[in-house]
Structure 1
Amino acid sequence: MITITGTEQFKAWQEKELPPVEEVHAGVFSVPVPFINNPMRYTLAYVLVGEKEVAVVDPGWDSDEGWEALKAGLAAAGLTPSSVTGIVVTHFHPDHLGMAARLRAASGAWVALGEHEPRAESWGSEPDAFVAADRKQFQAWGVPADFLDEVSFHQATWAQMANLQEPEHRLADGELLPVAGLQVRVLATPGHTPGHICLVDEANGLILTGDHVLPRITPHISLETINQVDPLGDYLASLEAMGVGADMEVLPAHEYRFRGLPERVAELKEHTLTRSAEVLAVLESGTAETVWDVSRKLTWSRGFVSLRGFTLRLALAETASHLVYLAARGTAVDIAVPRSPAAVG
């Protein structure tokens, strides 16, 4: 069992409100930035104050509302956007990287991602080709024609991903953040994305886990992520690396702070392997010929028929990641799991 340390955050989560800005530790502030039209509701940005230098970790989804929330969080720390010298993003998803361009424009700060995280150029220069390739992948996964429009990306998705802020710095595993007065080390944790990173602040006994470890939900592990061959295998291996934070307070990018990282890691591993066992049982039954077929036979919290739109897309991509994981470990998987050029880069 974990121990919840972000009690105000937990209360706000239960009441479906935005939590307050908090000084977690001297010079470390958590700032909730609204995640517009999403059940996660907010991303927890973190402001790390060094010696005349300031880093913001995961500035959040780009919106006017989010910008005001981020400025208010900086103000609570006695800062303004112009005070920020570095922007560190745990992974490329828009609810983490989205606000980086606006914050960089207001501050001149550098932006950094993990060294293996995809760049915007990975999505190509032609939106029509991107959309067609994405649709082709889901067709190959057995998605019926009636569902293709709702699970496939559209040109607006391409524009959103291609316009995300490009990083000036790439952070390698074990590297210290280049911020004066901080001793925060990068921990590579691929899985949720190819170049996802966590940040270990040994001096203050804190570990910032991005989306790699959250207190309540299991991070989505998708096969479709660019440049990732076996994302589920990567994720399980990355969980093993979390022992460095065994006694630390966990600062996730969503939900609320907690202690008990080893216990939570054990839960995540058990959940993931149980899911793979369920996928294996479907394969052994001989009743599935496509990714869609397997997905339909798995246990979903509200049933498969309730999955629509982007949620259905995620469910299919998760199923595909389990099929690839099993195949990589010697299971005979007769179901082809082709990937489009847009997916593999």
Structure 2
Amino acid sequence: MPQEPAAPQVSDHGGGVHSIKVPIPDNPLGHTLVHLVDTDRGPVLIDTGWDDPASWNTLTAGLRALGTDVSAVHGVVITHHHPDHHGLSGQVREASGAWIAMHAADAAVVRRTREAQPGVWLDYLCAKLTAVGAPDEHIAPLRQARASGRARTLPGLRAALPDREIVPGDLLPLAGRRLRAIWTPGHTPGHVCLHLEEAHPSQLPGHGRLFSGDHLLPGITPHIGLYEDPDDGESTDPLGDYLDSLERVGRLGVAEVLPAHQHAFAEPGVRVRELLAHHEERLAGLLSLLSAPLTPWELAERMEWNRPWGQIPDGSRTIAVSEAEAHVRRLEKLGRVVRVGGSPARYHAV
């Protein structure tokens, strides 16, 4: 059995808000910041961390270090369905009877993942990677995983179904607190930020604080890929959704952002402008690359990442090509590129 962490990493953000660094196994992000909000009916968690014994031990030890216990948790608010945010929600509910709230769009992803037959996701992924021009050597391990039944071990297959819906614009049921849901699609279709509409405990100028999940991070550009639904052929535009959501969050004028990774930060308007500029520059760069027709895979090979393409592991390459697709989809929606050819698809600037 994993040993309990000796010194839980907890932080006091003032005004009845704390955070716990819950580790993400084998991930360069390192940890998820699980936030605890004191309410008149007991503590409420914003996100819970990865479904892993060491992560669970860190979360529960952190709660005890803050003078409470997992059994006292009254509710769980999930910013989005990814396993480093929603993974431990079911265990928290089992230990406490807490409700779990999530936006309907992400709750649908959780439900679809749980109900899918083993292998459906890998079948879809193999077909999708073929359609974007991925080489056979990249797809072969996924086919092998499908044949061996390893699809049953993918994260998210046992994620908890939420029992409450987060309605954009509504105040969440936190006794004695004002926490309003802001729908911020882009990173996932149902991502939400949570606006704590209360004076900042240190009197920083601005309108309260924002729990931003992965939407707004101080030093990381969140992944924006295509929304994946094997049964839905709708042509989505996640990057367009994300850019619109960024501007909406920027207009809130909050005093401080409490993200799910890295650290809290002030002056979020500056960060919003940086991210908008980053994506504008990236779109312009992709138009230059698409002066000749390229598949999304060929485009991803030529894009700038945090390391050379040859050093990027296969799983991260799959994520990278999804991000390339999202940017191409945005350019296609803007009428700046057209699709040419059959399968694999190629795109060309106009």
- Which category describes the TM-score, using the shorter chain as reference length? 0.7 to 0.9
Q: 1:149 to 1:44 in 2, by over 3 A?
A: farther
Counterpart in 2 of 1:342? none
Greater mean alpha carbon deviation, residues 330-339 or residues 234-243:
330-339
Counterpart in 1 of 2:3? none
1:322 aligns with 2:310: no
CA contact (8 A) 1:213 1:265 kept: yes
**What secondary structure does 1:162 align onto?**
coil
CA distance in 2, matches of 1:269, 1:19: 36
TM-score between both structures, scaled by the size of structure 1: 0.87
CA contact (8 A) 2:8 2:62 kept: no
**Candidates 90, 96, 110, aligned match of 1:120:** 110
Q: 1:214 to 1:337 in 2, by over 3 A?
A: farther
1:131 aligns with 2:134: no
Counterpart in 1 of 2:92? 103
In the TM superposition, residue 158 of structure 1 has moved relative to its aligned partner by: 6.7
In the TM superposition, residue 159 of structure 1 has moved relative to its aligned partner by: 4.6
In the TM superposition, residue 42 of structure 1 has moved relative to its aligned partner by: 0.3
Counterpart in 1 of 2:29? 40
CA distance in 2, matches of 1:158, 1:193: 22
In the TM superposition, residue 170 of structure 1 has moved relative to its aligned partner by: 1.0
**What secondary structure does 2:337 align onto?**
coil
CA distance in 2, matches of 1:251, 1:160: 26
Q: 1:273 to 1:238 in 2, by over 3 A?
A: same
CA distance in 2, matches of 1:258, 1:94: 24
Counterpart in 1 of 2:301? 296
Q: How many residues align?
A: 320
Counterpart in 1 of 2:263? 256
Cα-to-partner distance string for 1:259-284 (whole Å, 9 max, x where unaligned): 11000001111111111111111112
Cα-to-partner distance string for 1:80-135 (whole Å, 9 max, x where unaligned): 11111101110000000001011111011011111321332323521223321210
CA distance in 2, matches of 1:19, 1:178: 28
Q: What is the root-mean-square deviation in Å for CA atoms of aligned residues?
A: 2.2
1:309 aligns with 2:314: yes
> Residues 176-195 of structure 1 correspond to what in structure 2 (within 5 A)?
176-195=171-190
In the TM superposition, residue 160 of structure 1 has moved relative to its aligned partner by: 2.6
Greater mean alpha carbon deviation, residues 171-180 or residues 116-125:
116-125
CA contact (8 A) 1:151 1:309 kept: no
CA contact (8 A) 1:60 1:99 kept: yes
**What secondary structure does 2:325 align onto?**
helix
Cα-to-partner distance string for 1:226-267 (whole Å, 9 max, x where unaligned): 477100000000001113442411100001111110000011
CA distance in 2, matches of 1:139, 1:246: 44
CA distance in 2, matches of 1:71, 1:334: 51
CA distance in 2, matches of 1:186, 1:311: 31
In the TM superposition, residue 293 of structure 1 has moved relative to its aligned partner by: 1.3
Aligned letter for 2:14?
H
Greater mean alpha carbon deviation, residues 223-232 or residues 74-83:
223-232
1:217 aligns with 2:220: yes
Counterpart in 2 of 1:197? 192
CA distance in 1, matches of 2:68, 2:50: 20
Q: Segments of 4+ in structure 1 off by > 4 A?
A: 150-155, 335-339
**Candidates 113, 132, 143, aligned match of 2:134:** 143
Counterpart in 2 of 1:164? 159
Structure 2: gaps (5+ residues): 1-6, 201-207, 345-350
Cα-to-partner distance string for 1:152-208 (whole Å, 9 max, x where unaligned): 885436753231111101101111111211111101000000000000012142110
CA distance in 2, matches of 1:325, 1:336: 19
In the TM superposition, residue 335 of structure 1 has moved relative to its aligned partner by: 4.9
Q: 1:176 to 1:219 in 2, by over 3 A?
A: same
TM-score between both structures, scaled by the size of structure 2: 0.86
More RCO (CA 8 Å, sep 6+)? 1
In the TM superposition, residue 150 of structure 1 has moved relative to its aligned partner by: 5.2
CA distance in 2, matches of 1:157, 1:133: 15
Counterpart in 1 of 2:68? 79
Structure 1: gaps (5+ residues): 1-17, 340-345
Aligned letter for 1:210?
G
